[in-house]
Structure 1
Amino acid sequence: MSTVIDQAVQARLIASAPQDRAVPAQLRYEPSDPFAVHIAFPPVASLDGADVEWVFARETLACGLIAPTGGGDVHVWPCGPDRTVLEFHAVEGVAMVQIDTSELRRFLARSYALVPAGSEGGHLDVDGDLAALLREA
Structure 2
Amino acid sequence: MHTVVERELELRLILSPERGIPVPARLAYRTDDPYAVHVCFHIHSEHPVNWTFARDLLVEGVFRPCGHGDVRVWPSKTGGRCSVLMALTSPDGDALLEAPAAQVSAWLERTLRVVPPGSEGEQLGIDDGLAQLLAQ
TM-score (normalizing by structure 1): 0.83
Structure 1 window deviating more from structure 2 (58-67 vs 75-84): it is 75-84
Are residue 65 (structure 1) and residue 57 (structure 2) matched?
no
Deviation of 1:101 after TM superposition, in Å, equals 0.5
Contact preservation (8 Å) 1:32, 1:125:
no
- Find the aligned partners of 2:43 and 2:8 in 1 and give their Cα distance: 16
Percent of paired sites with the same residue: 35
* Equivalent residue runs for 1:105-124 within 5 Å: 105-124=105-124
Q: Return the index of the structure with the highest Cα Rg.
A: 2
Deviation of 1:92 after TM superposition, in Å, equals 1.8
**Structure 1 unaligned blocks of 5 or more:** 129-137
Greater fraction strand:
2
**Structure 2 unaligned blocks of 5 or more:** 131-136
- Find the aligned partners of 2:17 and 2:117 in 1 and give their Cα distance: 40
Contact preservation (8 Å) 1:38, 1:56:
yes
Q: What amino acid is aligned across from residue 71 of structure 2 in structure 1?
A: V
User: Which residue of structure 1 lines up, in the alignment, with residue 14 of structure 2?
Assistant: 14
Are residue 29 (structure 1) and residue 26 (structure 2) matched?
no
Total equivalences in the alignment: 126
